[in-house]
Amino acid sequence: PGGYDQNQDLDTPNASDGVGRALFAVNVASGNLVPSFNINAVSDPSLGMSHSIVDSTALDHDGDGFHSRVYAGDLGGNLFALRDDEMVTYAECSISLNIVDGVGSKKKLFDASYDDNIQRKILYAPDAVAEHYGEMIFFGTGDRSDPGETGVVNRFYAVKNDWASTATLTESNLVDVTGDKIQLGNDTDKAGVKALLETENGWYIKLQNPGENVRSP
């Protein structure tokens, strides 16, 4: 991760950070940066990297011993996804495999601050779970630098990533399950919510106590 910008310690932080807006991969044998896996606000302006990144997580999505997926959130509520694998089909045996080849692709998967224009900070690495469609990403928002802040209603998210779309998801693409819609209501309600969760891009819970945060992994 690029690191922390002390801009975030101000009572009213600037709209964007000046440092830390980056995620790097390093070849441990040579010490060189891996060009295809490095993203930063200067070289990748289309990603909209506006805030510093302080933590990340890697996932071996297919259990082959190689960490081929990387997820990282920034202090503006953006979640970035990177991958280093491509599908290769061997004609001789008609077998298709994901091959880690050192060529990465990336996208901004989610923006937690877009719909209501309220900054929600992702301070800790998300958790990624392999699914048949790709991955489900779990993470929460909070502000460790201002533990007494009560004006932001933070969230806990579960966001699907099928790698098929390059569009950035927002809360409007998720199901709000704050009201415990799965356990309450009649069987028809439960079936409807279950079907909705299977077809939509994930879900989220609003943290309902004033000042409530997700501030540890």
pLDDT of the chain, 217 residues: tens digit per residue: 999 999 999 888 899 999 999 999 888 899 998 887 788 998 888 899 999 999 999 988 878 788 889 999 999 999 999 988 766 677 777 676 666 777 778 899 999 999 999 999 999 999 999 888 889 999 999 998 888 888 899 999 999 999 888 899 999 999 888 876 565 555 566 676 677 777 889 999 999 898 899 977 6
Which long-range contacts does 31-38 make (Cβ < 8 Å, 24+ apart)? 34/102, 34/104, 36/84, 36/102, 36/103, 36/104, 37/70, 37/82, 37/84, 37/104, 37/106
